[in-house]
Structure 1
């Protein structure tokens, strides 16, 4: 019975010298064949797929055809191998060294060996000279073989940072998420984002402190602009920095804008004819044009109503928020297009054409003369036209 250790690549070629006892001047000419438990020939190569199996080997001398056989037990005694660098990994001060992944590791037979942290230490004698973080790792394969690695990370102070760029938001975004103007990082998520902060120096061991001063300038409606001035202090050099290495100054503009027109809802409706007509002139209406439903995310809205005869006469004396009356000479019976126009405080306009139908919904009322004289003809008959009675 022979124990066979697999190599770093997970496979081992079985040679006669591994299997034969005694002194042999040369193993040249001997042929090795390995059989799996089902009797299938594996040639002379054994790999990780045969771990745990008891294999049979046969060694044959071709000239005499003499052979011997025995049992072969494959074993994996190698631990996972770290790609453990001898030199320190240099990172900028805004990198969280303890969040970095472990060095790469691979194993000859286990595609996913377990990697565990064993501990870490941080040497911070003077962070202006840099900070050394040492981390220890252990890797264990599925057979319990293990190895360790010491990872050294050197955090360097920096002179580079980037003041935040100007940003713009809509007033509806600001109304739902007022946090978007905070001096915090841009995250891409309205729930958590701010309008940005200097990039490259936000780490625990960075050598900059920052402060801000905000001036808010009102604009149209509920919109405004924040003029945010950043101050950067390098406490390793004692310098106050007002321009970043890219040449950007420390002033940031944060705009809350209204780019969306207001919305109007006004379904078609009818008005009654309220001015009598004399044929061939039909009846007309000076009736009430119903007010629309108005919505806008950013403040006050003015509504105007235009008919084919001109602008309506408004109920509130100012605009069409409460509706208005059809101007003279009124609209004839039939369907007409009335335009509702909404303008918000920032000049965004929305127009809604609404069909308005003037209807004659009053039945005629006959008025008869109380006394009518009627003369009979020679035949005792007379004709009585309707207009004689009306």
Structure 2
């Protein structure tokens, strides 16, 4: 700020000069007051000016401004006046304040010059300078930082713009990201447009600020030997640019206080903190070690402690109580205090985990004037009231809920072990799991273990060698509550529960006919063979639930399984189709049999029926989806689709698991209590592969494949015989001889077959022609022709029918004779072992009418 020059001009105006009556003063006029205010102002500014009152409250004022440099704002008769100055440099201009005090008048003048910063001082910038960041890790660069003359007198007369290489604009305030970069700062005088430039280097020159805080502890505090223990107070560090600066230990000084009534000593610790820019801050704190007043030491109370308490350690007196001062335990192996503390224990045992400690504390203090000593007797009762605990190997013993076991609280998990039923009586035997016995107070070798269940009891001493003491026998199938009783040397008893589950883990054993042969029923389309026909004593060690069978090719044999398909489970992305079975036996007896089997499984309440029903359903859906429907993208993974679509409503299950679906896939469908066979199985001469499935009450499954030979042993049966015939030699020669000579004997009728439910014949009739001698000849001498119709023969056969024929013929010279047609009927299948059927048709040729 330039020097302000003030001029005071006082003019005494007498009453006569103002044209008033002259008067005499009893006292002279007081001295004039100067105008207070700047005599050099900035263009466009508003400035206040004030008269000094000097305890003359009766004064009146009149303000005047001469010239065109500005104008008075508001009233001109107050102690203070404001002037709006022009926007351009100029002056000086006269500001006058006329003061009247009674009959005394004063004219106080002030010459004011209007001058901007350029008029007041040279306009120059520092060429280069360094500026530190502020406490917010940024810096607002102002004109006063850059101008050699310092802060401008006229506000808002300069602007500052920042850039890198005078190209890339830099924000103002400048952030820490510009640390170490040369920034070009341009200062512009707004009114004149003149500029100057500085090159600025921003740096972090602010050291971290450490706030140290003193701490106090007792002189015997073991932490005092490690003054930088983390449990003492640690300085906080704040930095303008960085967070999480950790204070560093610089060292400490221990000071002994000999005559201080409150403290034995103090520790002065030195700390420092350095930011990444090398700025370093320091501080010191003090840990005061409080002196122990001997007369105020309090002996520890007697106490009772559980021997298994985690907080009790007989070798550490602090866990059972020690003499205290101001509530702070005094026991410490070493201290800065001027007193010592020791103890001695006398122990008497009642049992291994229960005993009494008589602890004698010896206290002493050495002072310059006296030796103080005292003794405390503390009784510590250590008691064992908790029984041992049995711990099992988690790999062998699981923890499960058994809400179905009578007598057990629900919603509680129990240790569980499983055993298979091994013998023919469905009983389990073996060894109970070894338990590790834990007792926090007693040697576990003295723990007595009892295992008690409904029909057994085992008692042994823990630590017994071997495992024979854990053997059990004749554990029936089901869940058994094993009560574990543990008793230690202090007669503390604890109980635990082990659930032993004897379960049937063995699949049934299927015994089947090794080389079964099935003979088709006589003249039926399908022969149903009950599964018991193939069974030769299938058994299960506990309970055989079901024995079923199926053809391996059941989905292709004798049925058209894709004739009806429906959507089963779907969403907007995927669809599962299932084949539908015909329920009407009149339409399709085989599909209807399968339909009734599935219905029976769903309604049956025996164990594992739902499993077989779901397997049947899975197979039908797999056929419907992957066989009946075309899939251009290849075969669908039905198991994954069922799981992803969560098709619980389509199966007999509350929730779906991948393992459960895979089991349905493995079992499949086609299972029933009977297997269909037909001529299609007998004629090819190849065995039919069937599969037997045995399932017990625990859903253990056994399966076996068997090759079945299917044969047709039924002999053809002639239902309608060709009649013997009598034919005149005239008719034979005119109507039949040519056919007979060519080997066609069917002119006398033929045998037609009926097999496999199909009628092979077409007409079923043969028309015969002859003449009759019973009527007179016509005008030409010919006897009348008569016609006769006979039914062809009909032969029944299970499968394909083979008809062999040979003839015996004998004629006399007159044309009379006979023909015998010998027919042999036999099944034509390769596996047919039935006898043939033979029959003869006789045709007699006779001379009928006279010439």
TM range (shorter): 0.5 to 0.7
Is structure 2 residue 145 aligned with structure 1 residue 18? yes
Residue range with higher mean Cα deviation, 57-66 or 343-352: 343-352
Q: How does 1:294-305 map to 2 (within 5 A)?
A: 296-297=437-438, 298=444, 299-301=446-448, 303=450
Secondary structure of 1:69's aligned partner: strand
Counterpart of 1:17 in 2: which secondary structure?
helix
Taking a change above 3 Å as real, the CA distance of residues 149 and 113 of structure 1, as seen in their structure-2 partners, is same
What residue is the counterpart of 1:98 in the other structure? 228
Query: Is contact 1:184–1:197 with CA below 8 Å preserved after alignment?
Result: no
1:6 and 1:75 in contact (8 A); partners too? yes
CA distance in 1, matches of 2:423, 2:135: 93
1:5 aligns with 2:132: yes
How far did residue 122 of structure 1 move? 0.9
Aligned-partner Cα distance in 1 for 2:161–2:176: 14
C-alpha displacement of 1:77: 2.7
Residue 344 of structure 1 is matched in structure 2 by: 487
Q: In structure 2, do the counterparts of structure 1 residues 2 and 225 end up closer, same or farther at CA, with 3 Å as the change threshold?
A: same
State whether structure 2 residue 172 is matched by structure 1 residue 60.
no
Q: Residues 49 and 230 of structure 1: is their aligned pair in 2 closer, same or farther, counting only changes over 3 Å?
A: farther
Query: Does 1:229 pair with 2:359?
Result: yes
Partner of 1:276: none
Matches for 1:111-190 after TM superposition, within 5 Å: 111-113=243-245, 115-126=247-258, 129-158=263-292, 163=300, 166-170=304-308, 181-184=313-316
Contact 2:188/2:196 (<8 A) preserved: yes
Offset at residue 240 of structure 1 (A):
2.9
Structure 1 residue 68, shift from structure 2 partner: 2.6
Structure 2 unpaired stretches of 5+: 1-127, 323-327, 393-416, 439-443, 460-467, 503-851
Q: Which runs of 5+ in 1 are unaligned?
A: 174-178, 187-194, 243-248, 274-288, 315-320, 325-330, 357-390
> Is the contact made by 1:36 and 1:56 (CA closer than 8 Å) also made in structure 2?
yes
1:236-256: CA deviation from partner (whole Å, max 9, x where unpaired) = 6835364xxxxxx83333334
Cα deviation, 1:212-235, whole Å, max 9, x if unaligned, reads: 41423223xx43234353525252
CA drift at 1:115: 3.9
RCO comparison, higher one (Cα < 8 Å, 6+): 1
Matching of residue 204 in structure 1 with residue 342 in structure 2 = no
8 A contact 2:356–2:379 mirrored in 1? no
Compute the TM-score of the two structures, normalised by the length of structure 1.
0.58
The answer to whether the Cα contact below 8 Å between 1:51 and 1:75 also exists between their aligned partners in 2 is yes
Per-residue CA deviations over 1:326-361 (Å, capped at 9, x if unaligned) read xxxxx9xx99989877452423355779899xxxxx
What is the SS of the residue equivalent to 2:169?
coil
Q: Which moved more, 1:29-38 or 1:69-78?
A: 29-38
Residue in structure 1 matched with residue 591 of structure 2 by the alignment: none
1:48 to 1:263, Cα distance in 2 relative to 1, 3 A = closer
Per the alignment, residue 281 of structure 1 pairs with none
Give the Cα–Cα distance (whole angstroms) in 2 for the partners of residues 211 and 139 of structure 1: 45
Q: Give 1 or 2: higher helix fraction.
A: 2
Residue matched to 1:359 = none
Residue 131 of structure 1, CA deviation: 0.8
What is the CA deviation profile of residues 281-326 of structure 1, one whole-angstrom value per residue up to 9, with x for unaligned ones?
xxxxxxxx99977754442426487877xx99x9xxxxxx9699xx
Measure the CA separation in 1 of the matches of 2:390 and 2:244: 58
CA distance in 1, matches of 2:243, 2:342: 47
Give 1:185 shift: 7.2
Is the alpha carbon distance of 1:9 and 1:169 closer, same or farther for their aligned partners in structure 2, counting shifts above 3 Å? Answer: same
1:266-345 matches, within 5 Å, as: 296-297=437-438, 298=444, 299-301=446-448, 303=450, 342=485, 344-345=487-488
The change in CA–CA distance for 1:349 and 1:270 in structure 2 (over 3 A counts) is farther
Higher gyration radius (CA): 2
Which residue is 2:411 aligned to? none
Matched, 1:28 2:163: no
Residue 52 of structure 1, CA deviation:
0.3
1:211 to partner: Cα distance = 1.0
Task: Tell me how far 1:156 sits from its aligned partner.
Answer: 0.7
